[in-house]
Each structure stands twice: as structure tokens, then as C-alpha cells.
A and B are shown apart, each in its own frame.
Chain A
Amino acid sequence: MAEPLLEIKDVHVEFEVRDGIVHAVDGVSYTVNRGETIGIIGESGCGKSVTAKAAMQMLPKPGKVSQGEIIYHRRSKFDPSKPQEVVNITQLDPDGELIRHIRGGEFAMIFQEPMSSLTPVYTTGTLIGEALALHRWVPVTVGEQMSNKIMQYRHVTKEESREIAIEMLQKVGIPKPHERVDAYPHQLSGGQRQRVMIAIALSCEPFMLIADEPTTALDVSIEAQILDLMRELQQSVEMSIMFITHNLGVVAEMAKEIVVMYMGKQVEKADTVKVFYEPKHPYTRALLQSIPKVGRRTSERLASIKGMVPDPFHLPSGCVFHPRCPSFMPGKCDVIKPKYIEVEPDHWVRCLLYEDV
């Protein structure tokens, strides 16, 4: 049934900076299944983007995966009947040929900053065309043997590229796509730019879309439109989505499963319904309480969790959440590091409340 596409297995990411080593991601494990949406949530700075970039093998310097592996079950884009190939993403050359096929062609990514994610000197048509030239192939029958066709693949032509670009712009709901294909990014609104980013991402028919806070910078009404669009598009193509957000409210309708992160650690993982109705970790509960009411602005959303995110060089002892935790147990939480345990089938949590200590 659920067929894994990407398995993130106990991944640790470190940044060695002047003041020491930042453990930006500290033991994260989850699986993205084919055609399903997984939500990754947590406050800003908890390592969501870093995990996603590790999956694309494009960690910013000096970041490196120090432990764990990221396994990609790679299916041929041309011939789905071919056996799958197992690729360990972390072992790939970051500028090598294979990862460049995967980036954009098989995993596409959209970002938090639509205002500056499009190169300002190129038109939307050029930018979509650039992705198409890399990843979109047109089948041509070159012969027939018995009843089997012999197929070859060629790159798209300029005219085809423009046509596809217009079609994609139409699909993501850009008005007058025939004109907008020649528009420069600064001529579009923030919401339209994010639509263009989605158009670029989907133009190459990827297996997975990594959406890194795609609506954080947008107005609430535009946010709703973009989310609707992503849901619609996901139904029309079989595609997994890794949906990263700091807002549980946004992800509720999108994701089947939710991973909650805090300070680089995965603190809870369960079905969306379970996370909403039976949250186990005190941090998840706090996040749930902070879901915005109608009419509140994006930036105020997580204000209600008390305390500050600790400094990465002076992590609290024991459970890293204990200084902010409403269920803090003195003598335990500040001493013992909690283990990641399965408290119910498919419901994982990292909290001493569920351990016999």
C-alpha cells in the first residue's frame, strides 16, 4: 500500500562555525510515501529547512550530514515498470550528474521567500524553460520490434517550451498566461510569484514537492488560495509533498502524517488526526494552542509558547524542551535525555512522561 519514496533515517546535520558546532538536525527519521503529504512542523530555527536541504544534498556550507542516511527509492521517469534503484542521497557528489537530475526533475522545491526566489533578470517563460530544458523529455518512437515500440527521448524545443510554460502558468491560476509568460518577476505580486515557483516546480513532473513554508510570507487570503492550488494539483498528478511549516493550522488539511520538531530533534510523529486529537508531547500541545484564530496575522502565531528558543551553543541538559515545558518534572527532565519511543502503534514521541524513569 504505502510505498516509500524517501526514507530519512536518523539524520544528524552539523554546522561547524567559529563558536563551536551547531547540531542543527539531531536524529530525525521519517518516511515520505508515494503520493502522500507529510507535514514537518516546528518553530523557526528548529532544523526543518536544513533537513529538507539535506534531502536535496544541497546543505549550505559548512553544513554536513554527520550521521544517518537518506534513502531514495528511485523509479525511472520513462519506464515505471523498471525495477527501482536505491540511492543514498547523502553519498552523492553535491554537484554531480545524478543529484542534478534528481533536483528539479524528481524532487522540486519551493521556498519561503517568493519575492526573491525568482532571478530578477529573467522572464517567467525563461525560468520555466530553463527547468524544462534540464528535465523534461519528449518521447519519440524510433522503431518497432515485435510488438514493442523502441522509444527515444529528446529535449523540448523552444516553441514547445513556451507552450508548456503558458500551460503551466494557466494551471497555477495566473491570469493572462500568454502575456505573463513574458513578465519579469518584479511585475508580479507575491502570490503570483509563488504560483510561478509552483509552476516551475511542477513543470518537470517531479515525484516529490518540498514546500518550505510556501505561504509564510503571504497574506492569509493568498495563503488559502495557494494551499487550495497545491491540494488541487496534487490530486491531478501523483506526487508526494513534504510540507514544511511553523503553523499547525495550515498543515491540518494537507498532510496525512505530521512530524513535530524542536531544536533539531524530532519530538513527535503520528497521523494528522492523532496529532490534533491526542497530542502526546507537551510541545505539540503548546503548538496546537497557538493555532491562530481567524483574522490574526501570520507573524503573531507562535507567540503564545512561553519562553525563548535556547541558544544552540548552550543547550539545556536532559530534555531540551524542559525550561519551557508546562509538565516539567524536576530531577528528571533536566537530567535524563528522553528516548524516542512508540507509545501507540505508529505514534512516536520523545518525552519522559511516557518513559518509566
Chain B
Amino acid sequence: MLSYIARRILYMLIMIILVSFVSFLIIELPPGDYLTIKLQQLQSVGDRSALLRVDEYRARYKLDQPVLVRYWNWITNFVKGDFGEAFEFERPVREIIGQRALMSVILALSSITIVWLLAIPIGVYSATHQYSLGDQIVTTLSFLGLGMPGFLLALLVLFFAMMVLKVEVGGLFSREFQDAPWSFAKVIDLLKHIWIPALISSVTGTAGLVRIMRGNLLETLGQPFVEAARARGLKNSVVTWKHAVRVAINPLIVILTSEALPSIVAGDALVATVLNLPTVGPLFVSALTSQDMFLAGTILVFIVLMTMVGSLVGDLMLAALDPRIRLD
């Protein structure tokens, strides 16, 4: 087991190096990246201070050096926690992301919690009441939820809130708390705002998880050990939860960690953009469009990192939960 984990971590490192290098290249390759444009602007201004700044940039980002050296520079600093500068903001990437990362984490965690709290009981109900009216309603709703893109739902909610309820939704804080320092009142304000985006971004996930849970459980309920448990005199509810659900839920753990962890870094950017949320997602999109390479690259590396950590954690949790995997 330990050697297995070590091997997985090694693969992970190799993968991250590859991905970071490729993303560095992709971000840098196209003409017209943020830095080039900026340098051109400065040069066209042509005065002394502008030219000085051009030299300063050249030196700082070692622009005269080959790509490999620049990549090496970036990645070694990255490991030390210096992610470079976000050109557009003229501030360190770390600072820019830091502000938003907390909001991303809070939003992702609350939406994951909602997804699981809703999807598991609904999926179990739907499977144990197969073909009943309730199951048919659940099935219809879950297909609707799967088909409805999150941003569209966000737009609908915005529209409904504005036109019908005449309230403003969007953002995670009221105006007076936007830039206020953290306080109890600010936390309350956050809670008042966060449930709408959390609900919206959990719709697709819930619908998907309900489908998976229902399917897995139906398959498990047909297994002989379920009938055997019932023949032992257990209550139906115990048979369902302690035997069937306990087995059917194992594969979902992998889904939880391998999808949820990356969503912490960049959840649905479109939803966040529509709802004007101060999270990492919209930042990532704008960094990509303006080719702000250090910012985009950093976020990308974190997404990959989280994806891989997520699948490792998922596999470890699955091993902890399922003796067939643990003991093989």
C-alpha cells in the first residue's frame, strides 16, 4: 500500500511538471500575450521612463533567455510560493488569487455539501421506490437538471429576482460589506448571499449524482446478499442502508474527490461570471482571454494538482471503505 501511494505521488509530480510545461508553452506561444503588448505600448511611448521599465521587465522575466530557462525560473519560484506577477493587475498572482480562493473554497464546499445531502437520500428513495410516482418525478427532474446548464439557471434566477421579486442577487456580499474587514456581521451577510449561488451550482451535480446513486443501488439491491440480509430478519430500512447503500455508495467516493477538489479551484466559471461572484473561476477566464500568463498558468497548475490529489484521495478513501480493494 505504501509503495503504491509513493508511486502515485511520483506519477503525480511527473504529470504536474508536464502539464505546467505545456501550459506555460501554450500560454506563451501565441503572439500578443499580455507582456508583449505591454512592452510594445511602452516602447511606442518612447520616453526614458517607459524604456527603463521595458528594460526592467526584460530583466525581471528574463525575456532574452530561451523558453526553457524561463520555464525553469517560473516553476522553481512556483515551488517556493512565488507564482509571478499578474500583469493586468500589476500585483503578485498570489495576492490576487488569495483573495478569491477563500470564496471559491467556501462556495465549492457548500455546494458539495448540498449535492451530497440531497442526492444520496433522493437517489436511495428513487431506487427503493422504482417506477413509483415519486421515482418518476425524481427521474424527470434529474434529467432536466442534467440538461440545464448552470449559467442558464443563474440567468433565470437573476431575471426572476430582478423582475418579479425586485431584489438584487449576485455577488457574495452586500455593498456595505464588500470591502469591509471580516466581522461577525460580514459572515452573516455572506451566509445570506451564498446559498443562491451554492444551490445553483449544485443543481447539475445533484441531478447527476441522483442518477448514479439510483443506478448503483438498483444494481446492488438485485444482489443475493441483499436478499440474504433480509432473510436474516433485518428491517427493510436496515437492509437498504447498512447492506445495499453501504456497498452501492463506494464508487461514488471517487466521484466526490476527483470532481469536487478541482471544483474548489475553479468551479463553474460561467455561473460565477453571471452571478458576479468574487471567485477564482471568472479570474481564470479573464486571465486566459488577456493571456495573462502567470496568472492563468498558476490557476491551471492548481486545477491539475487538485484533480490529481482528488483522484489519489478518492482511491485511498475507497480502499479504506472497501475491503475488496484494500486487501488485494
Interface residues of A (CB under 8 A from B): 56, 58, 60, 95, 100-105, 108-109, 111-113, 116-121, 130-131, 134-135, 184, 186-187, 197, 200
Contact = CB atoms under 8 A, between A and B. Distances in A.
A69 B327 CA distance: 48
B100 interface: no
B31 interface: no
B321 interface: yes
Interface in B204-261: 223-225, 227-236, 243, 246-247, 250
A120 B227 CA distance: 14
A121 B224 contact: no
Nearest to A112: B224
B247 A104 contact: no
Interface string B292-328: 0000000000000000000000000000011110010
Nearest to B131: A61
A257 to B, nearest CB: 24
A135 B233 contact: yes
15 contacts: A95-B236, A103-B230, A103-B232, A111-B227, A111-B231, A112-B224, A113-B224, A117-B225, A121-B246, A121-B247, A121-B322, A130-B232, A186-B324, A197-B228, A200-B232
Given A111-B227, A116-B223, A119-B243, A186 B233 contact: no
B323 to A, nearest CB: 4
A131 B230 CA distance: 11
Interface residues on B, range: 20 to 34
A143 B145 CA distance: 65
A130 B232 CA distance: 9
- Identify the interface centre among B229, B233, B322, B327: most chain A CB within 10 Å of its CB: B233
A116 B225 contact: yes
B225 A184 contact: no
What 8 pairs between A and B have smallest CB-CB spacing? A104-B233, A104-B232, A103-B233, A184-B323, A109-B231, A117-B228, A113-B224, A117-B224
B324 A105 contact: no
Nearest to B238: A130
Nearest to B321: A121
A203 to B, nearest CB: 10
B233 A116 contact: no
B254 to A, nearest CB: 16
A186 B228 CA distance: 16
Interface in B116-141: none
B224 A116 contact: yes
B225 A119 contact: yes
A134 B234 contact: yes
Nearest to B236: A95
Contacts, number: 74
Contacts of A101: 233
Nearest to A100: B233
Contacts of A134: 232-234
Contacts of B321: 121
- Identify the interface centre among B228, B243, B327: most chain A CB within 10 Å of its CB: B228
B251 to A, nearest CB: 13
A121 B229 CA distance: 13
Contacts of B327: 184, 186-187
B228 A95 contact: no
A17 B187 CA distance: 57
A96 to B, nearest CB: 10
A54 to B, nearest CB: 13
Contacts of B323: 120-121, 184, 186
A134 B229 CA distance: 12
A101 B321 CA distance: 31
Given A117-B225, A121-B321, A105 B233 contact: yes
A97 B232 CA distance: 13
- Identify the interface centre among B223, B231, B321: most chain A CB within 10 Å of its CB: B231
Nearest to B250: A121
B33 to A, nearest CB: 53
Contacts of A197: 228
Nearest to B223: A116
A104 B233 CA distance: 5
Nearest to B226: A119
A99 B181 CA distance: 63
A131 B223 contact: no
A120 B225 contact: yes
B129 to A, nearest CB: 11
Contacts of B231: 56, 58, 103-104, 108-109, 111
B243 to A, nearest CB: 5
- Identify the interface centre among A108, A119, A130: most chain B CB within 10 Å of its CB: A119
B127 to A, nearest CB: 13
B197 to A, nearest CB: 36
Contacts of A111: 224, 227-228, 231
A131 B233 contact: yes
B230 A118 contact: no
Contacts of A120: 225, 247, 322-324
A117 B223 CA distance: 8
Nearest to B328: A186
Nearest to B243: A119
